Amino acid sequence: MTGQTTAAPASNAFRLTDPRIGVLLAALLGTTALTAVLGITDTAAPLSYPSRFLVWNLFLAWIPLGFAFAFVGVRRRIWLVPLGVAWLAFLPNAPYLVTDLVHLRHGYELWRHVLQYGFAAWTGIVLGVVSMRLIHRRLTAEFGRAVGWAAMAVTVALCAVGVVIGRFQRWNSWDLVHRPEAVVAGTFDWVRNPFSHVESTGVGLAVAAFLALAYLTLWAYEAVAALPRRTPDLPHQPLS
């Protein structure tokens, strides 16, 4: 009986050996590198604004994907809770990169920064939704479809809250460890009075909608990828 509650069935621990996973990681590393290169080659401020904080934010955005891979790869259920909590704590760092677009300013290097912020935002969203998909698949395999979708709905809501407190209250994931009481107090103050902070509430709703739609796009695309590959037989035609 104890083994059934602490260990996942062999079929529920996903294998991460598909070569396309390597392609996915390489592509995301590529857009991460492009973000950094566009900043390093900026003659105006090569290692300061905006490159340094963008690279740091990208590093934070990669962390939830690492936890998600660990979540789907671990075999014992006892590890799902700490890995899931750690994943959720860092997940807001991924969609947070979209809000960094607020730093765009007119200037000589505008197009460089548009591309740089665009690469960063794209990378953050993909990192976030891929990690959500990994978590969703494992939860569905372990606990059923209803639990999986309920967890994703809660994740989107909490992630939007995390982006808001990061952007407007300037908390980050590390503060959850060092100053959890202050983060919780500031968050509840906003949640209790959402209409007294119109801008942050609007941003939170927009981030939640965007993240939910991005995730549903990835989820629905799996149906397209699963379509039969067989093409109808065509009449033989001579080569021209």
Decide: helix, strand or coil at residue 76.
strand
If you search the block for the tokens 């959402």, which residue do you land on? 194
pTM of the model: 0.80
pLDDT in tens, the chain (240 residues): 444 444 444 445 556 677 888 999 999 999 999 998 888 777 665 445 566 788 888 999 999 999 999 999 998 899 999 999 999 999 999 999 998 887 776 665 778 888 888 999 999 999 999 999 999 999 999 999 999 999 999 999 999 888 888 776 665 655 555 566 666 666 666 666 666 666 777 888 999 999 999 999 999 998 887 777 665 554 555 544
Spans of all domains in the chain: 2-221
Q: What are 77's two structure tokens?
A: 């259920």
Buried b / exposed e over 189-210, threshold 16 CB at 10 Å, is: ebeeeeeebeebbebbeebbeb
